[in-house]
Amino acid sequence: MKKIVAITACPTGIAHTFMAAKALENAGKKLNYDIKVETQGATGIKNKITVQEAADADAVIFAVETKVREEERFKDKIIHKISVKEAIKNAEKAIEDALAL
C-alpha cells in the first residue's frame, strides 16, 4: 500500500486548513492509500508527521498558502506543492499527481 503524508496550512489556519486535511484524508481512503495529514494552524501543529513517517512516504503533499513549519523533515523528498483550495476541490488528483512525481 502506498504511503502518503501531507501538510495543510492556510494564513489564518482555521477552516480551510482543516477542510483541505479532511478532503485529502477522504481521497486517500477512497483510493486505498495509507495517508497521514498534519495540520498547521492557529491551534499549532496537529497530527504531526514524524521524521520516520516522512522518510517512509511514497509521496509528500504540501497544500499550503503559508510557510511550512519544520520543513526539514522532508529534505530528501520531492514535494508536490498545491494550494489549500486545490486540495479541497480535487484531492484525488492532488494525490495522483504527487505519486506521479
Please name the residues in contact with 34: beta carbons below 8 A apart, sequence gap of 6 or more: 1, 2, 3, 4, 28
Catalytic, 10? Answer yes
Round to whole Å and give the CA distance between 16 and 55.
27
The three cell numbers locating residue 85: 483550495
Which is the catalytic residue, given 4, 6, 7, 10? 10
Q: Which residues are catalytic?
A: 10
